[in-house]
């Protein structure tokens, strides 16, 4: 199986039978969503409805990877829009490097919370670069009644300075979290 990220083709072993409904938020170049679609998931890519060029990048990634079935929708974090209301229940929400601006954290979690009302078992899988040790999601997770599990990178062989022949993440600290709905306040 092959996926094109920018101009670099990436290959990975076939994992057919992956059928979850997946929505990527703040998708940009959309690598995780593209990969999930290649593995058989029903994928919706989204980026801010106020950033049409970012939505165009999502569409180009689908085109370059021959994935015409992948929908691209404008979802601005924290906005209760028609497109958000129309989304079918999701199994997994992918969020790659969206926790980069503390002012947006609650808007992101409120969008996720809305999707949790459609499917209380939905999980948010998020990787992000640690940009400041002072930033924390903890209080917001408590406020929005969400649980969070930290996934050590070594558990999926990602604790390296270069992954998939790229120089990323280099010396940056990357974390992975899985966030789900709490069992009630």
Ligand X SMILES: C[S@@+](CC[C@H](N)C(=O)[O-])C[C@H]1O[C@@H](n2cnc3c(N)ncnc32)[C@H](O)[C@@H]1O
Query: What is the binding site for ligand X (CB under 6 A)?
Result: 26-29, 47-48, 51, 54, 76-77, 96-98, 100, 104
Q: Residues near 184 by Cβ (< 8 Å), separated by ≥ 6?
A: 145
SS3 75: coil
C-alpha pair distances (Å), 73 with each of 86, 142, 151, 158: 10, 29, 29, 30
CA distance 86 to 152: 34
Nearer to ligand X, 120 or 168 (CB): 168
Q: How far is the CB of 17 from ligand X (least distance, A)?
A: 25
Q: How far is the CB of 169 from ligand X (least distance, A)?
A: 11
Nearer to ligand X, 156 or 183 (CB): 156
Nearer to ligand X, 32 or 116 (CB): 32
Nearer to ligand X, 43 or 54 (CB): 54
Q: How far is the CB of 185 from ligand X (least distance, A)?
A: 27
SS3 88: coil
- DSSP assignment of 142-169 equals HHTTEEEEE--GGGGT--SSB-TTS--B
C-alpha pair distances (Å), 58 with each of 7, 29, 44: 14, 6, 10
Q: How far is the CB of 85 from ligand X (least distance, A)?
A: 16
Q: How far is the CB of 70 from ligand X (least distance, A)?
A: 15
SS3 111: helix
């Amino acid at each position: 199986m092959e996926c094109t990220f920018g101009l670099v083709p990436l290959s990975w072993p076939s994992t057919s039978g992956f059928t979850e409904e997946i929505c990527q938020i703040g998708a940009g170049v959309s690598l995780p969503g593209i990969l999930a679609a290649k593995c058989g998931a029903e994928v919706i890519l989204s980026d801010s409805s106020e950033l049409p060029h970012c939505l165009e990048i999502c569409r180009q990634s689908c085109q370059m990877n021959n994935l015409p079935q992948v929908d691209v929708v404008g979802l601005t974090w924290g906005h209760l829009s028609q497109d958000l209301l129309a989304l079918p229940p999701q199994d997994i929400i992918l969020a790659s490097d969206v926790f980069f601006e503390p002012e947006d954290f609650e808007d992101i979690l409120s969008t996720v919370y809305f999707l949790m009302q459609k499917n209380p078992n939905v999980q948010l899988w998020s990787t992000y670069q640690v940009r400041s040790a002072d930033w924390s999601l903890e209080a917001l997770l408590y406020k929005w009644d969400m649980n969070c599990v930290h996934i050590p990178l070594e558990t999926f062989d990602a604790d390296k300075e270069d992954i998939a022949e790229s120089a990323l993440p280099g010396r940056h600290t990357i974390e992975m979290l899985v966030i789900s709905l709490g069992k009630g306040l």
